[in-house]
Structure 1
Amino acid sequence: MSREATPIYYCPFCAEEDLRPVEEPQGAWRCGACARVFSVQLARVDTTRIPGRIAEAEALQQESRP
């Protein structure tokens, strides 16, 4: 996974859009409205809850039944 700063469009604290990337800590953003510095990190993507995958799994289960 890349360590580059991913664009963030809204401050998670005040919902303003005036955000600027900062150098330290790496990948962090500064909100011009509330002056908070924050970073957002993606932990993982839960592929078990994607609707298309759920439907696909159900279809496979139905095909495998006698």
Structure 2
Amino acid sequence: MSERAAPFHCPYCGEEDLRPGEQGHGSWECAACNRGFRLKFLGLLARGVRRADHEGDEQT
């Protein structure tokens, strides 16, 4: 079985100085901005992710 995924960057300041939080599973603390946050995996999307980068494309 694989290890659990960990965030690489703080969602607030973008720094990489993260540590697991004391509040339980999925909680992280950023030493750079002194914020705590929690991550939770919600599940896979049924249809997948569609990107909006093709909005300006026109087919002729």
TM-score range, shorter chain: 0.5 to 0.7
Give the Å deviation of 1:14.
0.6
Please state which structure has a larger fraction of its residues in strand.
Answer: 2
Q: 1:17 to 1:44 in 2, by over 3 A?
A: same
Offset at 1:50?
A: 6.0
**Residue 55 (structure 2) aligns with:** none
Q: Percent of aligned pairs with the same residue?
A: 36
1:2-21 to structure 2, matched below 5 A, reads: 6-21=5-20
SS in 1 for 2:47: helix
Aligned length: 48
Q: Does 1:38 align with 2:27?
A: no
Q: Which runs of 5+ in 1 are unaligned?
A: 52-66
Larger Rg: 1
Q: Which has the higher helix share?
A: 1
Q: Distance in 1 between matches of 2:27 and 2:5?
A: 9
CA shift at 1:25, angstroms? Answer: 3.7
State the AA in 2 paired with 1:15: G
The residue number in structure 2 matching 1:59 is none
- Who is 1:23 aligned against? 22
